[in-house]
């Protein structure tokens, strides 16, 4: 993991802005997130979080997470932005997924970019495994200290240690 320099951040601002634009389409009532996958200076996949198939009948955002059985590992009702972006890239440009970069953003209730704190490390093992398995090389997200880039293998390892931190 490393924080990007101001110069590197400026280069990646376009992609973070695009991820924020995509996040504005999210319909989840718990969180509004967006992801874009970029290869060779072009978006090859994008996604936002909302119920599967955008089917309102699948919405369970109002169900408290602590009411689920412990065997339910993903207590969100929505398909994650990262998952949708990977599926989009694999559908649209499977030849360009290997070595690409995923940019992820979370918005607050007013639609402004919300930084993850440095204490809020990667934690979604479903997404971290999927991104790693797809062959995406880097995962970039906003933290309070600035943009942070993870090699996807490292990101996956950190996500599995989240509960132990």
113-114 and 101-107 beta bridge pairing: antiparallel
Give the pLDDT of residue 162: 67
Residue 165 pLDDT: 47
**Residues of the chain under the 70 pLDDT cut:** 54-76, 117-121, 162-165
Q: What is the pLDDT of residue 26?
A: 92
Rounded to whole angstroms, the Cα distance separating 165 from 148 reads 19
Cβ contact 51:27 at 8 Å: yes
Strand partners, 114: 106
CATH of the domain at 25: 3.40.140.10
Number of domains present in the structure of the chain: 1
Looking at residue 57, what is its pLDDT? 59
Which tens digits make up the pLDDT trace of 97-145? 999 999 999 998 888 888 875 545 677 888 999 999 999 999 999 888 8
Question: Radius of gyration (Cα) for the chain, nearest Å?
Answer: 15
Instruction: Tell me how far apart the alpha carbons of residues 48 and 22 are, in angstroms, rounded to a whole number.
Output: 6
**pLDDT tens digits, 99-108:** 999 999 999 8
- Name the residue range of residue 119's domain: 2-164
For 94, other C-beta atoms within 10 Å of its C-beta total 13
Q: What is the pLDDT of residue 88?
A: 97
What pLDDT shows up at residue 115? 83
């Amino acid at each position: 993991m490393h924080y990007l320099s101001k110069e590197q951040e400026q280069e990646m601002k376009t992609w973070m802005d695009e991820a924020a634009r995509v996040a504005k389409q999210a319909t989840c009532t718990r969180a509004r997130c967006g992801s874009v996958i970029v290869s060779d200076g072009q978006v090859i996949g994008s996604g936002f979080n909302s119920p599967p198939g955008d089917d309102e009948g699948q919405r369970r955002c109002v169900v408290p997470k602590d009411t689920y059985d412990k065997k339910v590992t993903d207590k969100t009702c929505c398909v994650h932005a990262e998952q949708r972006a990977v599926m989009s890239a694999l559908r649209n440009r499977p030849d360009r997924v290997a070595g690409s970069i995923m940019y992820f953003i979370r918005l607050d209730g007013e639609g402004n970019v919300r930084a993850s704190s440095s204490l809020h490390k990667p934690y979604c093992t479903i997404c971290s495994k999927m991104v790693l398995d797809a062959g995406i090389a880097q995962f970039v997200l906003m933290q309070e200290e600035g943009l942070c880039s993870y090699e996807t293998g490292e990101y996956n390892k950190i996500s599995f240690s989240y509960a132990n931190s």
